[in-house]
Amino acid sequence: MGIVELVLIAVGLSMDAFAVSICRGLGMRKLNLRTAAVLALFFGGFQALMPLMGWALGTQFMWLIEPVDHWVAFVLLAFIGGKMLWEAFHEEDECGCEDTSGIDLREFLVLAVATSIDALAAGISFAALNVDIVASVSLIGVITFCLSFAGVAVGHFFGARYEKPASVVGGVVLILIGLKVLLEHLGVL
């Protein structure tokens, strides 16, 4: 898997965190950069940790996965992408109206875990694809940090109009990458 695919996966995985960051920014009466940075650190850290955990699990069971690794990667990435698309079109607006400019570490932890569960499955597919895990999780963490920080600012300045399109784009990108992996292993591409 090349750098372009890894960047696209990182962006796709970070879309949930980006959408939640927009929601946090919507509730800020005044843009608080410290809160944005702490939230982005939580999101980036967990988005990097979860695929590492998935990769560790995947490598332990590689002997079982290897004969069908391309199908595993396709199914996991398509599932994650499909879930993002489903949520984009079926979830109610969860952004609150209260001021969210403060730092609530417990809330940030819950949000970070909730938005990074999909990255655990991606980590399993990384094991199946024999991806350089250090570069991958570093890239995912940095991109998620940047997009989460930017998401708070976008939410504060522009409102919720970009939350749904971000989730749709992220879901479609993950599904297309999964399809590309499958087609490459089947010899079509």
Mean pLDDT for the chain overall: 81
pLDDT of residue 110: 83
Q: How far apart are CA 9 and CA 65, in angstroms?
A: 21
**Which residues are CB-neighbours of 86 under 8 A, at least 6 positions away?**
none
pLDDT in tens, 62-81: 777 667 767 876 787 788 77
pLDDT of residue 99: 54
pLDDT in tens, 131-146: 899 999 999 999 999 9
pLDDT of residue 161: 60
CA distance readout (Å), 7 to 11, 28, 36, 99, 162? 6, 30, 22, 33, 20
Instruction: Identify which has the larger pLDDT, 7 or 163.
Output: 7
**Which residues are CB-neighbours of 80 under 8 A, at least 6 positions away?**
12, 13, 118, 121, 122, 171, 174
pLDDT of residue 97: 46
Q: pTM, whole model, 2 decimals?
A: 0.71
When mean pLDDT is compared across 36-40, 126-130, 180-184, the lowest value belongs to 180-184
pLDDT in tens, 76-127: 778 877 877 887 787 655 554 455 567 778 888 888 887 787 788 888 888 8
pLDDT of residue 103: 77
Q: What mean pLDDT is predicted for residues 142-165? A: 83
